[in-house]
Structure 1
Amino acid sequence: MKNLITILGIFFVFYCKAQQYPLNVNFTTVPNGSYIKDTNNEYNKFIGTWKANVGNKAVYIYITKQENRPITRLNKNFFRDVLLIRYKILVNNQIVEDTMNSSNDMVNTISMGTQIDGSVIFDYKGLKCLIGNGFITLEYIDSTHLKWNYQPQSTVVTNKNCSDYPANGIKINLPYETSDIIFTKK
């Protein structure tokens, strides 16, 4: 019986190891239960606190890495190392939006993987009623600078298609007006 358990344990270790894939793999090509791992530590250079000033806004992004996050996409279940963005936005030194205290499960900006040029693309789930949902691309320039590009998919929501739409509206505070905003590491 001990031999059987030992053999099954060894098989499990090798089986799990064989199911690991690098970050840039297309998730549709991996089997269910696979682990898309940051094997080359490509994400580490993005981790930290970054700041950009855009007009009267000060935007702080806090990037952390979560390993082995369960993901479900297109009826596929797998695990992936991801970057999470929490942010704080001040307008005229007043906080207008702050996701700093969001748990990992509640973060609404999660990396989807790397691109050929080494940049990282994020899925941003948006605010109430999904306003502002879209994609953010971060490009690593050097150890103290990132280039930010945010493309919101929805910028207009009304009370017609969002039952709990606030009377004063929903404003996207993340910078999208100009592209290629430079963030500096703090």
Structure 2
Amino acid sequence: MKFDDPNQALSVRDAAFHTVHDYPGGAMALGVRMGVNGMTLSHQVNPNNVGKFSLSIEKATDIQALAQDYRILHSMARELGHVAVKVDQAEEENVMANIADTVREFSGYLTSVTDAVADSRVTDNELREIDAHLCEMVQQANHLRATVAHMNQQLKKRVVDLHTQGKAISTKIRKGRG
């Protein structure tokens, strides 16, 4: 599972610009999907157009959802000292494989920390690598949690189904048809 590249520390304005212009067809194509003029959208995300054209929070959310590109979100989080992690909605999956993947990510994280501190100093690059491994580990642990939450929901659904079937059978018996 890959997380937003922490080495790509874009400002929020630059992230918005690149999200719009990296979209297939650029601002014009994305503008059509959003129902706005592509040139206006291009001006709104231009990092040099401060003040006159501004991008609303709602429009930034729409851009990210349509483009499936979350650099704006990650840049905002980074500038505010936070990290954004995708909340997974898992389907039927192999829980044991997810556990193994989570352990592997945890191992990668600990290895990056161990390697970084081996010489009793931590460089910027080493810290970025630690952060990247930490984010990947958290996201994988979140994915594992989503998988077991899905299993929990499936169990609840089966219990409700069995209860409903049991009521139907009880009704038939009471009415002498069972």
* Class of the TM-score when normalised by the shorter of the 2 chains: under 0.3
Higher RCO structure (Cα 8 Å, ≥6 apart): 2
Q: Which has the higher strand share?
A: 1
Scaled by the length of structure 2, what TM-score is found? 0.21
Q: Which has the higher helix share?
A: 2
Could you say which structure has the larger radius of gyration? 2
